[in-house]
Amino acid sequence: MKTFVPKKNEIDRIWWLIDAEGKILGRLATEIAVLLRGKRKPQYVSFMDSGDFVIVINAKKIKVTGRKMEQKKYYSHSGYPGGLKEKTLKELLEKKPEEVIRKAVWGMIPKNKLGRAVCKKLKVYRGPHHPHQAQKPQEYNF
């Protein structure tokens, strides 16, 4: 018996459409990360990008449990002394709800060249409309 390793042209990539309205952020991010990595496919290998494309709509309508809206903080640093900035989840959801989902998914995939390639297949939109109608995305319900 030999180990099967798929070639790049043998991987079928499906476009999935996920409506984030009313979904809990962490549970949504885990499902998206699994689809992006391709872990549900029988030809999954850890060192290759065998995942699908994911379109997320209604990003501004996600939910979180507990007091995360006020307590969860996102940090960024300008690189200069004293350049640390922090925003709460509530502030980030008002300004850039796409970033909230993107950062949650990024935390669940490898931090290397493969992870960056996987993250490029994630398309997140604030409202119910997206420009990927030509790809005929399939609805994904969980």
Q: What 3 state SS string does 43-97 have?
A: CCCCCCCCCCEEEEECHHHCECCCCHHHHCEEEEECCCCCCEEEEEHHHHHHHCH
Q: Are strands 84-88 and 73-77 parallel, antiparallel or unpaired?
A: antiparallel
Per-residue pLDDT tens over the stretch 17-62: 999 999 999 999 999 999 999 999 999 999 999 999 999 999 999 9
Half-sphere exposure of 87 (CA within 13 A, CB side): 13
| Token pair of 83 as six digits | 């350049």
Is pLDDT above 90 for 1?
no
* Cβ pair 126, 94 in contact under 8 A: no
DSSP class of 137:
P
Q: Distance between CA 29 and CA 20 in Å, rounded?
A: 10
Computed over every residue of the chain, the mean pLDDT equals: 96
Q: Please state the rounded mean pLDDT for residues 120-129.
A: 97
Superfamily of structural domain 8-139? Ribosomal protein L13 (3.90.1180.10)
Please check whether residue 121 is in contact with residue 52, taking contact to mean a CB–CB distance below 8 angstroms: yes
